[in-house]
């Protein structure tokens, strides 16, 4: 009975965490394969933050080629750099508090945004990291 109660509490706690999709709390490799790229990269950060196994997430990120060797080095230090791909930002910093996509021009056909601004606010509203991503790569970021 005690184990079931603990499992229920952990499921609610981890399921409610934005940095870790509820489906990943079991670490199922088939579940990981079905995640979109952004969710997968955020899941890596969430797994590290909650001290959960990352094997399946890392394998899937590598299988898809979402991070290269240099990016993994920075991700493991939870740092970002200019030129890093979007997955590296999500894997290093998790899901942003705010995400603002923008387009340079109005197009006839729907297309992904040209620029995304990610805002991470830690502890207090005065401490922010703002990351600008253009065409899938970090072009600028503030590092408080």
pLDDT exceeding 90 applies to what percent of the chain? 54
More reliable by pLDDT, 107 or 39: 39
Residue 82's contacts (CB-CB under 8 Å, 6 or more residues apart) are: 138, 139, 140, 141
- The CA–CA distances, whole Å, from 135 to 33, 38, 45, 112, 131 equal 24, 15, 22, 9, 13
Would the CA dihedral through 111, 116, 31, 59 be positive or negative? positive
Supply the range of the domain harboring residue 66.
2-141
Neighbour tally for 73: CB within 10 Å: 13
Longest dimension (CA), the chain: 59
Neighbour tally for 51: CB within 10 Å: 7
pLDDT category at 4 given cuts 50, 70, 90 is very low
More reliable by pLDDT, 110 or 29: 29
Per the structure, how many domains does the chain have? 1
Q: What is the pLDDT of residues 83-125, one digit of tens each?
A: 999 999 999 999 999 998 876 656 666 666 778 999 998 776 6
137 secondary structure, DSSP code: E
pLDDT category at 9 given cuts 50, 70, 90 is very low
pLDDT category at 13 given cuts 50, 70, 90 is very low
């Amino acid at each position: 009975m005690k184990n079931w109660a603990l499992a229920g509490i952990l499921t609610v706690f981890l399921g409610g965490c934005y940095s870790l999709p509820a489906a990943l709390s079991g670490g199922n490799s088939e579940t990981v394969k079905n995640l979109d790229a952004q969710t997968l990269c955020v899941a890596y950060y969430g797994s590290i933050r909650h001290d959960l196994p990352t094997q399946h997430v890392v394998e899937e990120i590598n299988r898809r080629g979402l991070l290269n060797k240099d990016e993994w080095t920075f991700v493991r230090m939870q740092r970002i750099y200019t030129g890093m791909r979007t997955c590296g930002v999500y894997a290093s910093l998790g899901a942003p508090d705010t995400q603002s996509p923008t387009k340079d021009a109005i197009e006839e056909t729907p297309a992904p945004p040209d620029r995304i601004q990610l805002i991470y606010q830690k502890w207090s509203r005065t401490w922010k990291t703002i990351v600008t991503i253009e065409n899938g790569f970090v072009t600028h970021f503030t590092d408080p």
